[in-house]
Amino acid sequence: MIQTLLKENSYNGKFVAFKDFNDHAVIGEGDTPQQALEKAAERGFVNPVVTFIPIKGMVQIY
């Protein structure tokens, strides 16, 4: 089974921070990884997991 991080489209094209790998509640978001980390830190989370949520239907080349 494929694990889904988020089912909402509001984070498409953004970096999001999660509490850990098993908890997919968003604790910070931003246009850069630094913004997502700062928002998570403001909420008291020290070492969040940050990932990029691609835009749905768009090909992403890294």
pLDDT tens-digit series, residues 24-58: 899 999 999 999 999 999 999 999 999 999 888 88
pLDDT at 9 (0 to 100): 81
Of how many residues is the chain composed? 62
The total of structural domains in the chain comes to 1
Domain span holding position 11: 1-62
Contact 15, 36 (CB under 8 A): yes
pLDDT at 14 (0 to 100): 94
pLDDT at 51 (0 to 100): 93
List Cα–Cα distances, 62 to 2, 36, 39, 54, 59, in angstroms.
Answer: 22, 20, 25, 11, 10
pLDDT at 13 over 70: yes
pLDDT at 18 (0 to 100): 94
Contact 17, 5 (CB under 8 A): no
Write down the pTM of the prediction.
0.80
